[in-house]
Structure 1
């Protein structure tokens, strides 16, 4: 297996941390990004920097200059980039109406615009070498927009939309786009959930005020009975890297709890998506 140059975002914890370590252990050159490596993430950055094959970069994904500087650093050192893993993300919970336009903008800035910013920078190099892989970490909520996760789900729907179209657009050029759809996992992200800023609407939702507790109880029970392991996401990233070019699936579900539901939905959409492309004369892209 040839050694690849890999950029992974959101490596200070959770899926990103595990993925950076797992991919580096295989001998790939990993550039691990996180914010504020001299401040709140100093310990995490220092720990990763001690790992063979990992270079830590201080990157604010919502800052165009910061992201471009990171990509320029990688290209100056390596000459290209082979794999991009858009893992970083933020979540939001609560009644959708409580989200202000600024809240929605913040969610999309991190979950949609930031991955696109990186894809735009990486794609010229991948196209030039007729080979590359972009893995976008989405969510089961990128398939089902659940109550109380509406804004988060909307951002993941958008990321999936970008990924789905690009998958077929870029495959003839030798570049693969793949989505990983995690289910509920006990990571630090689940402990940093944002809420909408407009608290004035809460009174209007008293009739369903108890429903979120049922959701949290169900997730807690999943964690106790199924015991989902975040390492599974890192292992799936490796699996996608190892698959031959052009044979990587668009969507991969990693969810030991409710994943079969998402898989069935994905398969149904995949079949009808093929019919859409055929209807509009693009059936050649399905090969």
Structure 2
């Protein structure tokens, strides 16, 4: 019987590489994405490597597409072994520059989209008494940074959700894993939404932070490393609750662990503004 995996946001970056990695591990992988026209690249690779990958439409903001996708998968395979919640986007702008609509949109995708998809697969995982849910968070799910409070708060929320799920789901044999990448070489910055206007009092700060993030992304961790970490986690008998990915993520988390709150705040100020 095929092991079955679902990956959201599979058209590029982490989702793309994770779908390929799962298929190479023998999973029948459903690479889901909002626009299936973007699935040609992964299907070409699957054909060349003889991988079991199917591209399926799934928009995490559209409950009907989630229901339709999950019903199709369960009807075809009668099981779901792994769900990787990867779909999301990066909202830039200091709090005063963000509208309530901006924040709602960010949470709609990065948080509620994850909730919708998890709720859709849980009945199947519970009935089979097994399953693994992998939530792609970020080092920004545990550390606050300026200029991205919308994105960061959505990831903080995802971390809390994931911790709670671990308690709720372990009696049913379902494992929950959090992946915390640092800055990854993806098109995240090409698709980000920046709300900072030319006359914003935070313009100078935003420009400086964004310049630093773009530089970091050019030297960032390849998305393949995130995919490798996910494979390591799901194939572990007792996976850890969290897996940081990337030297920058590990560096920041170690610094936060070793410093007082004020010391860490001064450390971040020095890193970002000096």
TM-score normalised per structure 2: 0.86
Deviates more, 1:252-261 or 1:56-65: 252-261
- Match for residue 255 of structure 1 among 208, 227, 246: 246
| CA distance in 2 between partners of 1:4 and 1:20 (Å) | 13
In structure 2, what is the equivalent of residue 65 of structure 1? 64
| CA distance in 2 between partners of 1:174 and 1:151 (Å) | 33
Q: Structure 1: any 5+ residue segments left out of the alignment? A: 269-287
Relative distance call for 1:42 and 1:9 in structure 2 (3 A) is: closer
| CA distance in 2 between partners of 1:104 and 1:227 (Å) | 26
| CA distance in 1 between partners of 2:68 and 2:34 (Å) | 14
1:266 is displaced (CA, Å) by: 7.2
State the aligned residue count: 257
1:227 is displaced (CA, Å) by: 4.7
User: Does the Cα contact within 8 Å between 1:61 and 1:110 map onto a contact in 2?
Assistant: yes
- Segments of 4+ moved more than 6 angstroms: none
In structure 2, what is the equivalent of residue 99 of structure 1? 98
In structure 2, what is the equivalent of residue 281 of structure 1? none
Q: Equivalent residue of 2:6, what SS?
A: strand
In structure 2, what is the equivalent of residue 145 of structure 1? 144
- Match for residue 212 of structure 2 among 208, 212, 218: 218
- Match for residue 222 of structure 2 among 226, 229, 237: 229
1:82 is displaced (CA, Å) by: 0.9
1:151 is displaced (CA, Å) by: 0.4
In structure 2, what is the equivalent of residue 203 of structure 1? 199
| CA distance in 2 between partners of 1:204 and 1:60 (Å) | 33
Q: Does 1:167 align with 2:161?
A: no
| CA distance in 1 between partners of 2:258 and 2:241 (Å) | 11
| CA distance in 2 between partners of 1:146 and 1:126 (Å) | 36
Q: Structure 2: any 5+ residue segments left out of the alignment? A: 260-274
In structure 2, what is the equivalent of residue 6 of structure 1? 5
1:210 is displaced (CA, Å) by: 2.4
What is the correspondence of 1:45-194 to structure 2 with a 5 Å cutoff?
A: 46-47=43-44, 50=47, 52-194=51-193
Deviations 1:223-277 (A, max 9, x none): 56x5522211000110111111xx1111111021242332565799xxxxxxxxx
| CA distance in 2 between partners of 1:237 and 1:93 (Å) | 27
Relative distance call for 1:94 and 1:100 in structure 2 (3 A) is: same
1:34 is displaced (CA, Å) by: 0.8
Relative distance call for 1:234 and 1:66 in structure 2 (3 A) is: same
Deviates more, 1:187-196 or 1:255-264: 255-264
Deviates more, 1:51-60 or 1:128-137: 51-60
| CA distance in 2 between partners of 1:258 and 1:79 (Å) | 38
Relative distance call for 1:186 and 1:169 in structure 2 (3 A) is: same
1:216 is displaced (CA, Å) by: 3.3
Relative distance call for 1:56 and 1:98 in structure 2 (3 A) is: same
What is the correspondence of 1:236-247 to structure 2 with a 5 Å cutoff?
A: 236-244=229-237, 247=238
Q: Equivalent residue of 1:257, what SS?
A: helix
1:101 is displaced (CA, Å) by: 1.6
| CA distance in 2 between partners of 1:48 and 1:101 (Å) | 41
